[in-house]
Amino acid sequence: MKKIFFLTLLSFCFISKIQSQDWITFNSAAGKFSVLLPAQPKIQTDTSRTYPNYTTNLFISKTPTDYFVIGWVDYESSYTFDAQKELEANRDNFIKGISGTLVSTTNTKFNGYQAIEFVAQSGSFYWTSKVFLVGRRPYQLLAGSNTGKASKDESKFYNSFSVQQ
């Protein structure tokens, strides 16, 4: 009986460790944010030299089924844009990039900033996103899962995000 109890306890501890995989706190000095991620993100940067000049920064962290992405754009200082149109353009460009379909979109606030939230699908991937402006910098957070439904960790990801101005 003691042996069965010990084996059951041992297997429970092992399964709990697998399911709760420790996330890391990732800080970006350049992005002025911190967030919890399942793994160290891969970084992608792209700079455009056509008007308006801008630099796009992406941080991508993934698990076997889920993707968590933080991105932002820095525009040249002389470029002005309409806030709502910028939020919508980020949404539309993402959906076009994944050859996806917009499921829903809502104007809202995220951490007090003007934002839109949307859901998109592409094949078996189900994506949720928050796009918001901090000053002149548009940010986009994405949680995607190839399970056909929202990632079980999307709230953990979104709720952990903090940005400094």
DSSP state for residue 137 in the 8-state scheme: E
Domain holding 46: CATH number? 3.40.1000.10
**Residue 13 falls inside a structural domain:** no
**Residue 18 falls inside a structural domain:** no
**Residue 15 falls inside a structural domain:** no
| Domain span holding position 144 | 23-163
Query: 96, 89 in Cβ contact below 8 A?
Result: no
Which tens digits make up the pLDDT trace of 81-134? Answer: 999 999 999 999 999 999 999 999 999 999 999 999 999 999 999 999 999 999
Q: How many domains does the chain have?
A: 1
Mean pLDDT score, 26-48: 96
**Residue 16 falls inside a structural domain:** no
Q: Please tell me the pTM assigned to this model.
A: 0.85
**Residue 14 falls inside a structural domain:** no
